[in-house]
Amino acid sequence: MITGKVRQEPITEVGADVAELLDLSDGDKVVIRARRATIGDATVRLDEAIYPLSLVHGTPIAEPGQLKSGVYNALAGAGMEPATITRRVISTRPAADAEAKAMKLAPRTYVLAYDQAIADGRGRLIELLRFVANPARVRFVDEQVQPFSVPGRA
């Protein structure tokens, strides 16, 4: 069974790759919600959900802690209901030192990397999901991707 722990990262400035994927400018700030997926005591996947601070400021998304109704309900409640996946890239690359340490991998071991940008119905890029996983323990499966449907919303 896979379990996870959520932690809120400090509000931070974006790097060039995040700025491009979320259509932000250098110096813009983001909120990063991070978690670790574990099997037993072993961390097998590191996740980050990154949101433009300009869009989520004052919403539960910008606050620390787990969201009881889930992040997509919080986005919808703030007028940013997820509507489309605008980009998805799955690749392999050598693990960064911190990633290898967190997942107890040998330095420079290859990991699965997954980036997905999501837009709301107005076309605003509202979320960048980033997953880094141990390929010996995790696989990504993408089948019949449909438009977003937020649970509990019509």
Reported confidence tier of residue 109, pLDDT bands at 50, 70, 90: very high
For residue 109, the domain's CATH number is 3.40.1410.10
26 has pLDDT over 60: yes
Question: Is 149 a domain residue?
Answer: no
What is the DSSP-derived secondary structure letter of residue 60? Answer: G
> By three-state DSSP, how is residue 68 classified?
coil
Domain count along the chain: 1
Q: Which long-range contacts (CB under 8 A, 24 or more apart) does 102-105 make?
A: 102/36, 102/43, 102/46, 103/42, 103/43, 103/44, 103/45, 103/46, 103/134, 104/42, 104/43, 105/134
DSSP 8-state class, residue 137: T
Note the pLDDT of residue 11: 57
Residue 29's domain comprises 2-133
| 26 found inside a domain | yes
Q: In this structure, is the dihedral angle defined by the CA atoms of residues 43, 48, 49 and 53, taken in order, positive or negative?
A: positive
Q: Is 70 left (phi over 0), alpha (psi -120 to 50) or beta?
A: left
- For residue 138, being part of any structural domain is answered with no
Is residue 87 in some structural domain?
Answer: yes
pLDDT band at 116 (very low <50, low <70, confident <90, very high): very high
> Mean pLDDT: which of 7-16, 63-72, 103-112 is highest?
103-112
**Which position has the higher pLDDT, 111 or 19?**
111
Cβ–Cβ < 8 Å for 83, 148:
yes
pLDDT over 70 (residue 154): no
Judge whether 141 lies within some domain: no
